Structure formats: C-alpha cells, structure tokens
Amino acid sequence: MSMSMKTLVAGAAVAAGLSAATAAPLAEKEAAVIPVLAPWTGPYGGVPPFDKVTVPQLMPGLEIAMAEALAEIDRIAANPAAPTFDNTIAAMERSGRTLDRVITIYGIYSSTLNDEAVQAVEREMAPRLAAFSDQITQNEALFKRIAAVYEARENSGLTPEQQRLVWLQYTDFVRAGAKLGPAEKKQLSQINQQLAALYTKFGQNVLADENDQQIVIDNEAGLAGLPESVRAGAAQVAEARGLEGKWVIANTRSSIEPFLTYSARRDLREQAWRMFVNRGDNGGATDNNAIITEILALRAQRAKLLGYETHAHWRLENTMARNPARAMALMEAVWVPAVARVREEVADMQAIADKEGAGIRIEPWDYRYYAEKVRKAKYDLDETEITPYLQLENLREGMFYMARELFGFNFKPVAPGTVPVYHPDVRVWEVTDPKGNLVGLWYFDPYARKGKRSGAWMNAYRPQERFDGEVKTIVSNNSNFVKGKPGEPVLISWKDAETLFHEFGHALHGLSSNVTYPYLSGTRVARDYVEFPSQLLEHWLSTPEILNRYAIHYQTGKPIPPALVEKIKQADRFNQGFDTVEYLSSALIDMKLHLAGAQAIDPDKFERETLAALGMPPEIVMRHRTPQFNHVFSGDGYSAGYYSYLWSDTLTADAWEAFTEAGGPWDKAVAQRLRDNVFSVGNTVDPADGYRAFRGRDAGIDALMRKRGFPVPAPATGSK
Ligand SMILES: [Zn+2]
C-alpha cells in the first residue's frame, strides 16, 4: 500500500499539495529553537534533520508552519494584480514549504514512532489540520483567482502540464467545497474536524489492540509445526517484551499469518485467529463500532452537502473508474469465479483433513494451514523449502538489480552517520542514473517494533520537482519483518518477498518522477492507478534472473534449484480463490458501506448481512474486517477506494503481458515505454491516456482473469 501524507494526515490533503517557499520569515525566526521548522540542510539538497527533531517540537512546529502557510495564501489571495498562472497557481506551489517539511516529519512519527506522546499530538492536531485545510479551500478571494486562471487556461499560452495543474487545483478546490455558501462551508468544516478526530481515534484503537494483545507460549508443545524462522522470531518478540525464554505471537499480520500457516496446534490457531480478526471489535475503550457508525453518517452528510449522491460517488469522481457502478461491475465480475474457486480449494483441503483422520470441518483458522498441505500434495511445494532461500538483504540486492536493468538506477549505501535517521534500524541509499547524476535518496525501515503501524508502505519525504530549480526526491520503504538475532539473516515468506517488491515499485515510481510541479509529482496520481506500477514490479521476483542470483540458501550459499523455481511457477495460481475472496470481500463491504447513504449503520450487522447476501464462503474472513479497516476509517484515503487494488491489477496483468508478448520481462523497449508513459509522468497526464500510450490500447479484464487462473469471459464482455 502506498501511504502519502495526504492519507496520513486526515484532511490535510491540500496542505500536502501546497509547496515552495519564497520567504519564510515567521518560521525562520523560530527555527533556531524549533529545528523541525528549519529548511533541510546537509548533503543531497538537504535531508530531514532527524538528529535534531524531538516530539515536543511537533505541535509548536505545526502551529507556526500553519500560520506561515496561511499568511502566504492570504498574500496570494490579496494580490492587486490580475490573476495569472504565475501569481496564483505557481505561487501556491511555492507556498507552504515549511509546513510540508513539518507534516512529513509528523507523519513519520505518527506511522513509525507512535508512542503515547505522539498520540497526544495527533489527538490535538488532527482536527486543527483539517480546519486549516478548509481555511484554504474556503478562501473566497483565492478561489476567485484560481477560477479565473482556470477559465482562461486554454488561451493563456500554458504548457500541457501547466494546464493540467490548473485543472487539478480548480477541481480539487471545487470538490472540497469551494463553491458552497458561507453557512454550508462552516458546516463542512465542522464535519471535517469531527471526522479527523474520529479517524485518529480509530487508528489508535487498532494500534492499541495490536500492541496490548498477544499469545504467550511457554513450552515446546505450543510450538508444534512452527519452522525455525518463526520460532526464532517469536523468541525475539518475547525478549523485546520482557518475556525472555518464552515465545510471543504478536497481534500483527506479520506474526499471525505465519503462525496460522504452520502451527499444528488447532486450539492456538483458533485463539490467534480470533484475537487478530477481532481487533477494534472487543467492546471497551478500544472498540471501533460506534466510531464507524459516526464516520459513515458524517461522510454521508458531507457528500450531500457537496452535491453528491453518496460518499462513494464523491470519492470516485476523480478516479480512473470515475463512478461506483464501474468499480462494482469489475468487482462482481471477479467475485463469482473467485467464490467458485474457493469451493474447489476447500474441497481439496477437506479431503486432506479427512484422509488424515482429523475429524474436522475446515474453519477460517484452518485455511492457511491446510492450504499449505494441499500445495505440498499438488505441487510438491513446501513454503518452508523456499524460505531458506529468501534472505531479506539478498532480495533487497535483487530489487536493486531490477532497478538497474529496468530503470538504469544505481543504489549505493550512504555511509552511516552521513544522513541522520529516526531509528537505528533505518538505512539510507543514494540513487544515481547511468551518468552518475543524483536521482534521489531511498530510506529503508524494515523491522517491526512497538509504535510502528503494521503492514508495509512507501512514503515520499520530498517529491521531485524542477519548478524553481531541480529538487531531488526522497522516498522511503517501510515494512514489519520480524528482526532475527543479531548477525543472523532475516528469512521472509514468498508473500512478504512479493510485498517487498511491491513497495519498492512505489519507491521507483517516486524516484522516476520527471515533472515540473510538485502537485503532480511521483505517486500523486489517482488512487486506483497508483497501485499499478507497484503491483507490476511484483512480477520480477519470480524471474530466473532474480531468483538464480539472489535467492541464495542462508546456510549452504547455493542458489535456489531450478526444479524448485519451476515448482514455484507451476503453483503460481495456487490459492487464488482465497486471496481474491479475502481481498474482494473487504473491497465490496467498503463500497457498499459508502453507498448505503444516510441510514444509521451497525457495522457488525451490516458486515454479517452483506457477506451473507454476497455468498461469502464461511471458511474465509475479510482481510480487513470493518472494525480494523484502517485503509477506510483512519483517514479518507482509501475510503470507497479499497477496490483500487483490483482496478490497478487489471492494468498490471495487461501490462505484464506487454512484456511477455515482446522479449520477456527484461525487454528494453517495453521498459522504456513504461518509464516514459507511466513511471516518469506523475499526474501530468490523464492515467487512461498514459496507459494507452504505453500499451497502444486500453486494458480489458482478460489478462486479469488469466493471471488469477479464472475463466476468461466470452468476447464482447471485456468491461472497462
Ligand atoms: Zn501499494
């Protein structure tokens, strides 16, 4: 998943887009006492001053930077000269630079160093940032100027990129309520502030359940079935939590999923599964159900106020899908064959359980465990056979190889101490092009720790731009691998390796950016398009060039045997029913919740009844149940937008076939077209046009169905 500041800071989307400082008098004066305000200095065009920033600086830093940004905006709005692109749109791109820097660091603390002190800042500042954002979009004099530039955009001698920037700024302002009357504006801003507070509470509740709940194992019998790497990880977690000599399964995806895959203890699997799927749904202080009801009601109210049928209609208007109906049509087309595949998968698993005399009916806490047994039986493939070849650091080198071959990027580690980091686990690489010119920096924060959001994501600390001189980008990849013992390699699962390549795809999207204006830079593209570059790069993991060179056994040093690679390839479409249904049930619930309109919604009941109506297989639970669905309820980001992964995957599958139809994964000409039309253009072109320029046509659904091993629909039904 890509997480930009736009989603980390609820409601601050406009602030994140504001950019470029001419003068920063207010902040400069304060920077000596509050370093978080200071322009970034040091090598590489300046780097975040993590060595000087402290949590107590965050709140005053945000306050001062917001005041400065508002003063800058007021100056633009009050300009006596007639509105032009330069004195209005470009001036906005120049403004808010101090705030951009502070918000970036605040976001890093929120997502990776989230302790009690940071949470207090979040609770205080989230509503105020939302109000700040509204103050800008509701500035009438400013909007009048933007509208004037917008009206004249085709006859002002603007470049295509400038015209698109004007169009996007204008559209974003209108979508945020710039055309409303004063009373409605006030009401809207109140809703946004209420929502921002609720999003913060929602995310903190999920994190609390992840931090505070765990399964402690204190004897060998509790470890039955677990491979050495999982045992070692559990021992490490126990040690970090002061339970030396025991084993702890933390309540996070990176701990729970391997446990459910391997543990032979059905009772413990059920216990772990229940703990994980009930995050945010346990009653008491961290229960999210009432918060969800409130969020949905406020979102429905806001959509009405803005003139949209539902929150989903509002959210999808500026996406590639454009409306909920098109997104639903795609989801429904894939849902039916996916459920049919699940029935086959369950039958295979039940047969094995019966043969073993287990005397059970497959339940959700059995799925991953028995799926492994089926994989072994059907493809003679055992995940524990692969894992010893998947060393985190070697795979990272494999990603660098891919970046060199496809993008011409070279990665060189930055000597420790050259660039400050916010945690000793974080490392930094400098990225250069074939001529040796600096492209940007890549920060890597691989390990799980308390206070770090679960999952994996990319974050751009600074977007590329060349508007007032070339600015090099700084991007980061974050994940939650369980750190092994010092000096021992970290072994990861095949799925985690895919995620690693996925997030690196987002990083390469940011690093490839070649645009003028920061508002259009890198990954700042439509939500249902942004996952396309990242999903596409997952495909390179399984190429022989990567596996033969970088999948090296951690003990023998031997590369992965060709026979094993072949087996991985054969098993490529294995368990696609589970993967698709687990994901798609979440995406469908997300969309249906936001289409349900103004009725008061009881989340548990809605989830139960909607899944029953959909024919949800009882052996699977949603990947993100409603009370823990951070994508959707800890910000607006992916609300009515979780479908985006599937939408992007239609492009991904089709784009991969562009390579396989040509010279294969490393085809230079296809890679060049991909860079020119997708990775480098940011949001300077309409994504549908960019894709067409790359592929020579639109993507249909057929390649997606082939990728997942589902029947390809008869001709003339290729939706989209
Ligand atoms: Zn992603």
CA of 478 to the centre of ligand 1 (A): 11
Confidence (pLDDT) at 26? 65
Confidence (pLDDT) at 16? 31
Position 25 confidence tier, pLDDT thresholds 50, 70, 90? low
Confidence (pLDDT) at 228? 87
Round to whole Å and give the CA distance between 19 and 516.
12
Average pLDDT of the chain, as a whole number: 93
CA of 287 to the centre of ligand 1 (A): 27
Handedness of CA 136, 137, 143, 147 (dihedral sign): positive
Residue 552 β-bridge partners = 559
CA of 535 to the centre of ligand 1 (A): 7
CA of 617 to the centre of ligand 1 (A): 26
pLDDT digits (tens, 9 = 90+) for 124-133: 999 999 999 9
* Phi, psi torsion values for 617, nearest 5 degrees: -60, 130
Q: Which residues contact 588 (CB under 8 A, 6 or more apart)?
A: 331, 335, 610, 614
Write out the E strands in 153-289: 214-217, 247-250
Which candidate in 68, 72, 93, 503 is catalytic? 503
Helix (H), strand (E) counts: the chain: 30, 7
Classify residue 307 as left (phi > 0), alpha (psi -120 to 50) or beta: left
Active site residue 344: no
Confidence (pLDDT) at 716? 54
Average pLDDT over residues 105-118: 96
Give SS3 for 128: helix
Average pLDDT over residues 126-141: 95
Q: Which residues contact 257 (CB under 8 A, 6 or more apart)?
A: 368, 493, 495
Residue 718 has pLDDT above 60, yes or no: no
pLDDT digits (tens, 9 = 90+) for 452-474: 988 899 999 999 999 999 999 99
Give SS3 for 473: strand
Position 12 confidence tier, pLDDT thresholds 50, 70, 90? very low
Cβ contact 693:684 at 8 Å: no
Residue at token pair 């039940």: 350
Confidence (pLDDT) at 95? 96
Residue 428 β-bridge partners = 443
Confidence (pLDDT) at 22? 40
* Phi, psi torsion values for 391, nearest 5 degrees: -90, 130
Give CA torsion, residues 688, 691, 697, 701, to 10 deg.
-80
Q: Which residues contact 110 (CB under 8 A, 6 or more apart)?
A: 8, 9, 118, 122
pTM value is: 0.91
pLDDT digits (tens, 9 = 90+) for 200-235: 999 999 999 999 999 999 999 999 999 988 999 899
- Of 638, 401, 426, the residue nearest 528 (C-alpha): 638
pLDDT digits (tens, 9 = 90+) for 52-70: 999 999 999 999 999 999 9
- Of 492, 267, 277, the residue nearest 394 (C-alpha): 492
Give CA torsion, residues 270, 272, 273, 274, to 10 deg.
80
Position 37 confidence tier, pLDDT thresholds 50, 70, 90? very high
Which of 28-32, 272-276, 302-306 comes out lowest in average pLDDT? 28-32
- For the record, the structure tokens of 625 come out as 């149940």
Beta-strand relationship, 473-481 and 457-462: antiparallel
Here the contacts of 133-136 (C-beta below 8 Å, separation 24 or greater) are: 133/11, 133/12, 133/13, 133/14, 133/15, 133/176, 133/192, 134/11, 134/176, 134/177, 134/185, 134/188, 134/189, 134/192, 135/70, 135/189, 136/14, 136/15, 136/18, 136/69, 136/70, 136/73
Classify residue 302 as left (phi > 0), alpha (psi -120 to 50) or beta: alpha
pLDDT digits (tens, 9 = 90+) for 614-671: 999 999 999 999 999 999 999 998 999 999 999 999 999 999 999 999 999 999 999 9
Give SS3 for 271: helix
The single-letter DSSP state of residue 143 is: H
CA of 501 to the centre of ligand 1 (A): 10
Portion of the chain with pLDDT greater than 90, in percent? 86
Confidence (pLDDT) at 537? 98
Handedness of CA 533, 538, 544, 548 (dihedral sign): positive
Residue 3 has pLDDT above 80, yes or no: no
Burial (CB < 10 A; 0-12, 13-18, 19+), residue 28, is: middle
Average pLDDT over residues 697-706: 95
Cβ contact 28:526 at 8 Å: no
CA of 532 to the centre of ligand 1 (A): 8
Residue 412 has pLDDT above 80, yes or no: yes
Average pLDDT over residues 148-153: 98
pLDDT digits (tens, 9 = 90+) for 309-357: 999 999 999 999 999 999 999 999 999 999 999 999 999 999 999 999 9
- Of 718, 687, 720, the residue nearest 705 (C-alpha): 718
CA of 503 to the centre of ligand 1 (A): 6
Cβ contact 686:171 at 8 Å: no
